[in-house]
Amino acid sequence: MKLVFATNNLNKLREVQALVPHQIKLLSLADIGCEEDIPETSQTIEGNAKQKARYIKEHYGYNCFADDTGLEVEALDGAPGVYSARYAGKAKDANANMDKLLKELAGIENRNAQFKTVIALVLDDTLETFTGICKGSITPDKKGEGGFGYDPVFLPKGYTKTFAELLLSEKNKIGHRGKAMDLLLKFLNR
């Protein structure tokens, strides 16, 4: 089976490649010649995932899955949420995003947060979605060199290390994207 993973984010691609069994040939956007920015204009994480997956099927004809992920912080009423990548501006600068988040949480005791990933799968004429959530909290400062995005400030529940301090294999076991991918793979294997 061939499936396109509709992302230009090489970090996401690497995470997902580590989870996909060898009988699924995973194609990247570069593999299919998709160089344009796929629209993400929905007001929800689920809507953006669906939009990206449908775009590839409609414009390139491939069965495809796409994800959208947001960091939802309780004390900020779920922000940055769907705007996580552009929280500090259109540049999608991870350090600027984390700095803004830490500044907004300064002096706030409730640092509960969750990462939410929704994967949309377009398989022939069907559309399915799979959601993975990882609960945790926001640390007072950045820790770790691994991962990407908000990983240096996200402490998964029950752990003493941020996502950026965990090995990729550890993060994939407990993380939001790994959980959503697990549901996707179970669906494909049924």
Catalytic residues: 68
Q: Which two tokens stand for residue 101?
A: 């988040």
| Residue 122, amino acid | V
> Are the C-beta atoms of 120 and 126 separated by less than 8 Å?
no
Q: Which two tokens stand for residue 73?
A: 């912080």
d(CA 147, CA 143): 11
d(CA 102, CA 111): 10
Q: Which two tokens stand for residue 115?
A: 């990462």
Which residues on adjacent β-strands are paired with residue 17? none
The DSSP-derived string for 130-181 is EEEEEEEEE-SS---SSS-TTGGGEEETT-SS-GGGS-HHHHHHHSHHHHHH
Q: Which two tokens stand for residue 38?
A: 């796929």
